[in-house]
């Protein structure tokens, strides 16, 4: 497996931070340099039989697995190949280096710790990182190019893109980790067992964020929450989160005064977000929920603080809105003023967990951010499925799919709560989220304000269908 060196990561991330506030960010993406590596020769073990060949006689294998070691891998192990379909040239390419960096670092550590069953390493060669251009049709085309060479997709970017690829995934028994937190993925994972989502959906995140605000806002010396507003991308991301906020508002007897769509800067939206700021100023509410990317968040928070001063409302952003690069913008004083909070399905970079510590050690001295964390976390369920299939003696795609369908209590090393993929969606869907605050002493400028919790709305919610259409 090609190691992702610290020097490369540092260069890539500085490029990402420079671009982060010029790109929209609903869902996240990845990119990688298109270099090609060939598998190295196997190590002989006896009468013309390699160690890995003899080992593989005891475990069924198929597409995407070789007895030859991974490029730069352990010479005494076989190789399991994964691919990525990302957005290298579209609106979410700015976050690409960190996501790929997190994913490759995860497998480097896994391989160093013994790989899968001590007999297989896992690799994501650069030639298997494909640019889906954030287009459903292109994503399907790119999947077709790698389908017969890998056991699964370490990342499948975007909700519409993922849905467009589902029929092919199901036909091929290909597992995939979606880089999107649409509430519908839980139903897909239970129905077919191939989509191994990670983290809590936007919908439950929105519910918990409002439930938290009901108690936290008056506790901070402000008036009790009576009215809230929503500024959102008009996509599955924005709509899913907004449903959660509306559900919690109804449960708490609050008014959603307005729900206004905002256009991503990358799609031609106003870089100043003047209309969104005018909405906040002209129709005051106690809490504003922003479901956007960093490029939209900065002018909204900065504009509201500039025009309203001490009367600016509390602003809560959805998980993908934050990027530490925001503290290098003109809105930094507004963020530091204490009006902004961040809802999220995972602990920030400095969070105290075994997984966070492993990740930080593996990545070294990099400007930590949410996208490194998300890239790393997205691989736990993939690893669990591969390990379960290995233990069952069947690493064919069908065997891996069967193992994925029965996954229970996947452990994320404390980075977020464990979860299961088998069972009724209402029972297995993750509902815990946390709230972060701006903290200039933290690596990514955020620290925990409220650790993982399930609010009363999310706890009582009967989850029988996706909160919003994709």
Task: Give just the sign of the alpha carbon dihedral 240, 220, 306, 323.
Answer: negative
Q: How far apart are CA 238 and CA 290, in angstroms?
A: 9
| In the predicted structure, residue 6 carries a pLDDT above the cut 60 | no
| In the block, residue with structure tokens 């009582």 | 460
Domains identified in the chain and CATH numbers: 6-200+350-428 (3.40.50.2300), 202-344+432-460 (3.40.50.2300)
- Which pLDDT score is estimated for 19? 37
Query: How does pLDDT run across 222-242, given as a tens digit for each residue?
Result: 999 999 999 999 999 999 999
User: Would you give the end-to-end CA distance of the chain in angstroms?
Assistant: 35
Indicate the pLDDT class of residue 45, thresholds 50, 70 and 90: very low
pLDDT digits (tens, 9 = 90+) for 373-430: 999 999 999 999 999 999 999 999 999 999 999 999 999 999 999 999 988 999 999 9
pLDDT tens across 284-296, in order?
Answer: 999 999 999 999 9
Residue 53 or 193, more confident? 193
Q: Looking at residue 95, what is its pLDDT? A: 77
């Amino acid at each position: 497996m090609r190691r992702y060196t610290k020097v490369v990561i540092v260069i890539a991330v500085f490029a990402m931070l420079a671009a982060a506030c010029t790109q929209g960010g609903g869902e996240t993406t990845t990119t990688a340099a298109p270099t090609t590596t060939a598998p190295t020769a196997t190590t002989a073990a006896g009468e013309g039989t390699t160690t890995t060949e003899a080992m593989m006689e005891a475990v069924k294998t198929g597409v995407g697995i070789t007895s030859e070691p991974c490029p730069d891998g352990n010479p005494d192990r076989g190789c399991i190949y994964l691919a990525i379909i990302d957005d290298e040239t579209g609106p979410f390419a700015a976050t690409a280096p960190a996501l790929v960096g997190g994913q490759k670092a995860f497998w480097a550590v896994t391989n160093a710790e013994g790989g899968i069953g001590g007999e297989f390493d896992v690799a994501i060669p650069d030639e298997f990182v494909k640019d889906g251009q954030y287009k459903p049709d292109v994503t399907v085309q790119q999947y077709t190019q790698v389908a017969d060479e890998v056991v699964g997709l370490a990342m499948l970017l975007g909700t519409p893109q993922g849905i467009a690829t589902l029929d092919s995934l199901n036909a091929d028994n290909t597992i995939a980790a979606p880089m999107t937190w649409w509430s519908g993925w839980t139903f897909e994972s239970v129905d077919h067992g191939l989509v191994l989502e990670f983290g809590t959906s936007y919908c439950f995140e929105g519910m918990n964020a409002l439930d938290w605000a009901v108690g936290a806002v008056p506790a901070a010396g402000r008036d009790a929450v009576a009215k809230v507003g929503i500024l959102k991308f008009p996509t599955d991301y924005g709509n899913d989160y907004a449903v959660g906020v509306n559900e919690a508002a109804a449960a708490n007897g609050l008014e959603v005064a307005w729900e206004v769509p905002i256009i991503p800067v990358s799609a031609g939206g106003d870089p100043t977000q003047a209309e969104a700021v005018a909405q906040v100023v002209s129709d005051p509410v106690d809490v504003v929920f922003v479901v956007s990317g960093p490029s939209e968040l900065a002018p909204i928070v900065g504009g509201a603080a500039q025009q309203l001063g001490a009367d600016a409302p509390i602003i809560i952003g959805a998980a993908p809105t934050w990027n530490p690069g925001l503290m290098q913008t003109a809105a930094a004083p507004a963020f530091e003023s204490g009006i902004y909070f961040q809802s999220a399905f995972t602990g920030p970079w400095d969070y105290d967990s075994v997984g966070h510590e492993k990740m930080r050690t593996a990545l070294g001295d990099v400007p930590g951010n949410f996208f490194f964390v998300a890239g790393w976390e997205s691989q736990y369920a993939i690893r669990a499925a591969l390990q379960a299939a290995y233990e069952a003696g069947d690493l064919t795609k069908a065997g891996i799919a069967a193992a994925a369908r029965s996954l229970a209590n996947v452990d994320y090393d404390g980075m977020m709560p464990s979860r299961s993929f088998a069972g009724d969606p209402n029972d297995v869907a993750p509902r815990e989220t946390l709230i972060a605050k701006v903290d200039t002493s933290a690596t990514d400028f955020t620290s925990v304000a409220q650790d993982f919790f399930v609010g009363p709305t999310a706890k009582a919610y009967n989850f029988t269908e996706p909160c919003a259409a994709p």
